[in-house]
Amino acid sequence: MNKKSFAARPAKKHTGPPSPLKPVANCINFALNFTKLIGFDSIFPSEDNVKTATQLLSSGAEPASIHFETHTCFGNERVFKAAAPFLPQLAAEMRKDSQLVDASFVGHFDSGVAQLVTAAVGNGRLERIRLGDISEGMAVYQPMIDAFRDNKTLQYLNISCSNPHMTMAPILDSLRGRQSLRRLTLLFIPMGELTGLLSSLPNLDHLTLSDTQISQESQAKTLFAALGGSKASLRRLRLCRNDLDNVAEMCGSKALRFLEKLYLPCNKITAEGVRSIADRILARNRKLRRLDLSGNPVSTAGARYIVDAHSQSLVWLGLASAGLNADAGKVLAPMVAVLQKLDLSGNLLGDEGVVSLFLGPGVRHGRPMLEELGLGSVNMTERGGKAVAEWIGSEEGAKIRTLDLKENALGDRGAKAILDTIAAKSRLVRELVMDHNAIGEPTVESILGVMGKRLGAMRMLKIGDISMRRDNAKRLEAAAQKAGVELIYYRETKY
């Protein structure tokens, strides 16, 4: 038995030593990965690559974007140290680049990289920058801090510091009162270092705080008091992995009165917290379009609060791994007809919940809306799969484009029902994920049918582990190539 993985359009792999910089667009990219990115495709800022980039800039090239990843893992620390003496020359040329508006410096962040940041920020045009993970004391970064203070064009800042012994206060303080700053992403930075900055940004409209430790009521109160004092009107707020449970202060903040997107994944928000969000934000804010409560102990009771307070503006709802049970299918059934995206992955809906979601008495009939649906790992079997297939073939499921059904127990019959319906009736499905569903040889013909009839729609089909004959594996690969479908599976060829 031979195990083999296959993708019709595999990602380009890198073998051998670091490749030289190759200009692809108006971007310089020193990236420690093997994915082809727009820019200069390279795997590490080696000495040769740094010299090449310096020469390109000195010869008149003016890239609009520079990305610098300096992770010192996999034995690359020696390579980076060899390149370090040449960084000042590169920084000098970067400072002259009048077109540079976007920069990213991620990984091993020391005084050498700080020189590049200083040059990028100090060129007078930079609008977007990402920094992380800063690893040395602030004393060596004073020129960089001064450059931030003098910059008047910065609109987006993403900064992280997972070193508990470091403080970002000098950098953050240098941005106080910045009129141009509109988007701010801060990771692993204590709440105490943020309030001074947040209270002074009048035009801030996108804020992300991750791992910021705002679990205590007093910390949440301080955060939203600071936002309220800034006169900012946030359009997008993301608070991730903060152990946030008391959301009363958030719901009452005047900074959220025009909020369009609210992401609160991986906190500790219970049904009572969801009730506050539903009553004080969802029911009153007619602009809120996206709400993500994935990874919280929301429960089916919390989901009911969302449905009861739902306004027509909400089109995107994330409730993955939210502690929902089979009753949630009946509760959320009315939302299927009004949402564009619904993610219920990781909840124990079971077949009963899935059937109620699509075919139960609470289903609303009307103009199709749902385009993306997540039902991965919901304990669904063949019965649930057939309910999904019936919904896809109905008028209500006519607009579905992305369908995630991974890690269930559909079996061949459930999988065939879905695939055959897509091949016969669905014109728009572009991505279908069905891996880890105990499917095998009987499903092969249905997969071929989807790729044969949906040439203009299907772009990615992931079926994971599948046991089949070698000749069927070749038929699938040939069909995927012909249809332009990215077919991803791990086959066990029998003979």
Determine the structural domain holding residue 59 and report its residue range. Answer: 9-175
Residue 20: how many other CB atoms lie within 10 Å: 12
Residue 421 neighbours by CB under 8 Å, 6+ apart: 389, 390, 392, 393
291 assigned to some structural domain:
no
Q: Which of 151-165, 217-231, 233-247, 422-436 has the lowest mean pLDDT?
A: 217-231
46 vs 54, 64, 107, 310, CA distance in Å?
12, 21, 14, 54
Residue 1's pLDDT band (cuts 50, 70, 90)? very low
214 assigned to some structural domain:
no
Tell whether the torsion through CA atoms of 270, 272, 274 and 280 is positive or negative.
negative
Residue 132's pLDDT band (cuts 50, 70, 90)? confident
Q: How much is the average pLDDT of 70-76?
A: 54
pLDDT reading at 232 higher than 80 = no
321 assigned to some structural domain:
no
Contact by Cβ (8 Å): 487, 8? yes
14 assigned to some structural domain:
yes
pTM across the whole model: 0.86
Tell whether the torsion through CA atoms of 48, 49, 53 and 56 is positive or negative.
positive
Tens digits of per-residue pLDDT, 259-269? 999 999 999 99
Element (H, E) at 220: helix 217-229
140 assigned to some structural domain:
yes
247 assigned to some structural domain:
no
CA distance 339 to 102: 34
- Which tokens belong to 290? 């996206």
Q: How much is the average pLDDT of 76-99?
A: 77
313 vs 176, 285, 316, 339, CA distance in Å?
34, 9, 9, 9
Question: Phi and psi at residue 66, in whole multiples of 5°?
Answer: -135, 130
Q: What is the radius of gyration, based on Cα positions, of the chain?
A: 26
pLDDT score for 180: 92
pLDDT score for 454: 55
| Cα end-to-end distance, the chain, whole Å | 7
Residue listed under structure tokens 């939302």 = 335
170 assigned to some structural domain:
yes
Q: How much is the average pLDDT of 390-395?
A: 91
| Total domain count, the chain | 1
CA distance 428 to 417: 17
Residue 179 neighbours by CB under 8 Å, 6+ apart: 152, 202, 203
How high does pLDDT run on average in the chain?
82
Tell whether the torsion through CA atoms of 435, 439, 444 and 448 is positive or negative.
negative
Residue 385 DSSP one-character state: H
Tens digits of per-residue pLDDT, 330-385? 999 999 989 999 999 999 999 999 999 998 887 777 777 899 999 999 999 999 99
Residue 248's pLDDT band (cuts 50, 70, 90)? confident
Q: What percent of the chain has pLDDT over 90?
A: 36
Q: Which of 16-30, 55-69, 189-203, 273-287 has the lowest mean pLDDT?
A: 16-30
pLDDT score for 303: 97
Residue 22 DSSP one-character state: -
Residue 18 DSSP one-character state: P
3-state secondary structure of 213: coil
Question: Phi and psi at residue 350, in whole multiples of 5°?
Answer: 70, 180
Residue 102 neighbours by CB under 8 Å, 6+ apart: 64, 65, 66, 126, 127, 128, 129
401 assigned to some structural domain:
no
Higher pLDDT, 46 or 125: 125
- Is cis: bond before 102, omega within 30 of 0? no
- Which tokens belong to 207? 């804020």
Residue 306 neighbours by CB under 8 Å, 6+ apart: 274, 278, 282, 291, 317, 335
pLDDT score for 323: 97
Q: C-alpha dihedral over 450, 452, 457, 463, to 10 degrees?
A: 40
Residue 436: how many other CB atoms lie within 10 Å: 18
Contact by Cβ (8 Å): 450, 423? yes
> Residue 205: which of 174, 238, 247 has the closest Cα?
238
CATH number of domain containing 165 = 3.80.10
CA distance 99 to 101: 6
